[in-house]
Amino acid sequence: MPGPRPKSKTDEPGPLKYWTMIVFESLGVGALVIMLVLAAVLVLVGVYVQIVWPLTDWDMVSVSLEPYRSLITTSLFSIFLAASAAGFWFISGAAWRTVKPTSLARGVPPKRPPSQYRSRA
């Protein structure tokens, strides 16, 4: 069995590939949130069809979504952009740059509790 392969310069992605992957993953977060919003709307419609409609016989024939088309489109784009920005913030690591490592992460053992809190066995 051959030993480990020597590391070459081609193993590490360049900055363009690195940032392209981060942006692509961030857009994936935005798409995932849009799918979750559409799934929530589908659940709400299902609850309406199963509960409200049989009890009231109101089938919403007179309701049209055409006046709300621009509002719905703007809302979906805004949700997509906000989720993509939040995904970029998390995936790029900017969310954790100000977090101080805990004592366990630094290799320092945790402090023992004062003697008054120790169990007397």
Task: Give the domain ranges of the chain.
Answer: 67-93
pLDDT at 59: 76
- Mean pLDDT in consecutive groups of 10 residues from the start of the chain, 121 residues: 63 83 95 97 93 83 90 96 96 82 64 64 57
pLDDT at 76: 96
What 3 state SS string does 26-78 have? HHHHHHHHHHHHHHHHHHHHHHHHHHHHHHHCCCCCCCCCHHHHHHHHHHHHH
pLDDT at 12: 73
pLDDT at 82: 97
Alpha-carbon distance of 71 to 84, in angstroms, equals 20
Q: Which residue has the tokens 């784009």?
A: 77
0.75 exceeded by the pTM? no
